[in-house]
Amino acid sequence: MDIPSRFPFEPRNPIKNTVFPFSSEAGRQVLESEFFIAGAKIIAKIENRNSFMRPLGFSNFGLGFGSMIFTYRNCPNNCPLAMWWGDPEVTMGALHWYPLLMREGYSSARNIFNDFEL
């Protein structure tokens, strides 16, 4: 299956009205550009990356899904890489990035109910 020809890249059209949380279209473009640049830097450091990993998150095609929806429990992998990729304890290599929102993988054995005080 030839994905790029089935789903060609189409740039997002600028919005006419201001949409929360952005104060202007220029502000939105700055944020998108910075997430893209950070994601491209992260991907450049990964030697054996997943073919679906894109600068703006996991996706089959394009630059990534770019989801901005996350909860206090976790950050999905279809959010921009700058939000969840990395390990603050690593000092070099591809994981040397402090994520804005620490992602917990499915192998995490953390029980969230232990966090509550009774």
The 10s digit of each residue's pLDDT in 48-82 is 777 777 878 777 666 766 677 777 777 777 888 88
Question: How many whole angstroms separate alpha carbon 76 and alpha carbon 104?
Answer: 9
What is residue 3's predicted lDDT score, i.e. its pLDDT?
47
Residue 2 has what pLDDT?
47
User: Residue 38: which of 21, 22, 56, 52 has the closest Cα?
Assistant: 56
Tell me whether residue 47 is in a domain. Answer: yes
Number of domains in the chain: 1
The answer to whether position 97 is within a domain reads yes
Q: Is the pLDDT of residue 1 over 60?
A: no
Q: Which domain holds residue 42?
A: 21-105
pLDDT grade for 108, boundaries at 50, 70 and 90: low
As to burial, measured by CB atoms within 10 angstroms (0-12 exposed, 13-18 middle, 19+ buried), residue 40 is middle
Rounded mean pLDDT of 8-20?
A: 67
pLDDT tens, 15-49? 677 666 778 878 888 888 888 888 888 888 887 77
In terms of pTM, does the model score above 0.95?
no
Strand, helix or coil for residue 99? coil
Which residue did the predictor score with more confidence, 114 or 82?
82
Residue 1 forms part of a structural domain: no
